[in-house]
Structure 1
Amino acid sequence: MMRILAIGAAALSLGACVPGGEAAIGDVQEADQRATLFVANKRGNTLSKIDLETGEEVLRRDSCTNPHELTTSPDGQYVALACYGGKTVDVFETSTLDRVNSIELGDNAAPHGIHWHDSGTIYVTAEGRQSIFALFDPLSGPSKMIEFMTQKQGSHMLAIAPDESAAWTTDLGSRTVTRIDLVGDNAPVSVTVGEEPEGISLAPDGQTLWVSARGSNQAFALDPVTMEVRSTIETGRFPLRLAIRPQGDVAVTSDLMDGGLTVIDLASAEVVRSIAVSSPETAQDRFQVTILWSGDGSKIYVAETASNTVAEVDYATGTVLRRLTTGEGGDGLAILP
């Protein structure tokens, strides 16, 4: 496995407000004490902050070009944004959305999938470089980083082992899922999984890797070590994302063409129900993408990119409780309890 050590590749802007950012909407300080949703608005090139008690957007700031996925720090004080239209990971304060760091990954990076580990390290895919990066101490730069090569096309989303021993990527262009050894010298292991695998999530117990393949309308359960496919499940149409409930009992896929969610029981690897968020007739008007569970597993948040909304869905009943207005092209989601 090729690993490239890079030091001093960060452009630091500590304490600076985002140029051109919009003013706060409502009482930001009061909203900081409540459950909060962050949304990356990829067409508007902005970052939104939504108070989940009121459902109101309390803050929106300029971010970077074509932002996609985002993740919050373990202490909840920062949110990191993958700037898919460029080559940086940008870090913002969750309270003010002031940018505190911008970490450059190199030419053609196109960062996308991102995860802020409990250790403090940020892991992010660099689709244009066929790699992932580990970014150490991302709040104070220049940042030290290591690049791990997948050597696969379209390494888009990722999952990280709790002990940081391994990472897994879904490689859209290569039709593969890749396991990367983060601590040893073993070469990456890639297996073909359906058509256009994209969604990925590691079960809380670390024993099963779950993947959704949008081009073949399927989900797969894999052994995370051997990469053997254990189960294949038929889902709704175009399962763009897969997210596991915090309780570890079910996973849901975001079925873009159906405007719904497929619920998979993880113990039996069987579909147990489906949830209609919109409908096949209105799916293109909504264009649902990223999905995210609330911390207690009672709700699912569904980004509807075309309508600039996020649907809040009650898991128990499957009811759409409300639609939250966000910026233009809301996609990536992150939540603070």
Structure 2
Amino acid sequence: MRLLAFIMLGLSLTACAPAQLEAQSMSSAQGTGTLFVANKRGASLSRIDLATGEETHRAETCENPHELTVSPDAQFVLVACYSGRSVEVFSTESLAEAGTLFLGTNARVHSALWLPDGRVIAGAEGRGSLYSFEVQMQDGRVPPLFPWQEIGGGEGAARGPHLIAVSPDGRSAWGTFIEAGEVVLYNLDGAEEAARARIGNQIEAIALSPDGGSLWVASNADSIAYRLDPLTLEVLAEVPTGQVPIRLAMHPSGDYIVSSNFGSGDLTVIETRSNAVVRTIPVSGSRDAVQVTLVFSADGIRLYAAETATDTIAEIDFASGEVLRRIATGPGGDGLAVID
């Protein structure tokens, strides 16, 4: 494993916001905490100090790393390996390699979530299944053996789930199947598929409210965000977004859901109380930036949007909508995780 150190520079742009959110704004252009970025074209993981915008470490990863998830104690970050059958774990402090966990043949894990109880829920798109397995770190390393369950799918099954969400109590999960336009509800206690519904065309993005009471997904083809009943998967509301809403990020308060719009290079902010668009935040304003992953800081003050074509992460003040700076990453920076 090679660890490299780099110094990164940032740029800033400006935008507008409604007055009711201004009280949450921070005047400083510097965020706090640590940002992790999976560089999918560079087969690497970056660690960035948000106080300076400086990349402090970079580690080699599997080919085509995608979504990231952090351990409950914030000591480790897990990388989903979209081109193979594994997930990889690294130290959040130094990006020292902490081990690899191998799943089924052609698992192609695109996204995973590390739960407070130590379980990891991973969507195996290549097998059309969901994995549930325990990762109890031992002396800073992944265990040599780990119990796991595979729910649904299997080798040769149709593709999906691509992105996933898990209920606050860890008993249910949801996955999006892009090609089928479906959302699937999984019963994690019973290790079974509980419900499946076709929602629209090219359903990819997914986010769950903090209380688990509402589920949101989005259609890349039709540029619509759908609010669903998480148990029945009934569509409760349809909200137009910017072009190609490839990701959704839920504000920690649950008051807003924000779409990252690949096709228009902006963000659509939806108020969850009214299911209405309250504003649009320009980021690059162009599909050429290939804007994909979007995450909030834990306090909801900042948003981080991955611009994968320009190898930058746009840091955005949510209250004002101002793009505070652009932080350089490795090639194809996409998957994101923030530790405050």
Q: State whether TM-score is above 0.5.
A: yes
Shift of 1:186: 5.4
Q: Normalising by structure 1, what TM-score?
A: 0.89
| 1:24 alignment counterpart | 5
| 1:303 alignment counterpart | 306
Q: Distance in 2 between matches of 1:144 and 1:99?
A: 21
Following superposition of structure 1 onto structure 2, how do residues 46-61 of structure 1 map, counting pairs within 5 Å?
46-61=44-59
Deviations 1:114-136 (A, max 9, x none): 11111111111100000111121
Q: Distance in 2 between matches of 1:226 and 1:157?
A: 19
Question: How many residue pairs get matched?
Answer: 308
Structure 1 vs Structure 2: percent identity of aligned residues?
44
The partner residue of 2:322 within 312, 319, 322 is 319
Q: Distance in 2 between matches of 1:222 and 1:152?
A: 23
Following superposition of structure 1 onto structure 2, how do residues 1-337 of structure 1 map, counting pairs within 5 Å?
18=1, 21-25=2-6, 35-139=33-137, 140-149=143-152, 152-184=158-190, 187-280=193-286, 283-284=287-288, 286-337=289-340
Could you say what the CA RMSD is over the residues aligned between the two structures, in angstroms?
1.3
Shift of 1:216: 1.1
Aligned-partner residue type, residue 326 of structure 2: R
Flag the 1:296–1:264 CA change in 2: closer, same or farther, 3 A: same
Aligned-partner residue type, residue 259 of structure 1: G
Q: Distance in 2 between matches of 1:185 and 1:59?
A: 38
Deviations 1:240-265 (A, max 9, x none): 00010011100100001100000000
Q: Distance in 1 between matches of 2:241 and 2:136?
A: 37
Shift of 1:217: 0.3
SS of equivalent residue, structure 2 residue 300: coil
8 A contact 2:37–2:334 mirrored in 1: yes
Q: Distance in 2 between matches of 1:216 and 1:116?
A: 31
Gaps of 5+ in 1: 1-17, 27-33
| 2:16 alignment counterpart | none
Flag the 1:185–1:135 CA change in 2: closer, same or farther, 3 A: closer
Shift of 1:307: 0.3
4+ residue stretches of structure 1 with deviation over 4 A? none
8 A contact 1:39–1:49 mirrored in 2: yes
Shift of 1:308: 0.3
| 1:12 alignment counterpart | none
Q: Which has the higher contact order (CA 8 A, sep 6+)?
A: 2
SS of equivalent residue, structure 1 residue 65: coil
Gaps of 5+ in 2: 8-31, 138-142
8 A contact 1:152–1:174 mirrored in 2: no
Shift of 1:188: 3.3
Q: Distance in 1 between matches of 2:114 and 2:75?
A: 12
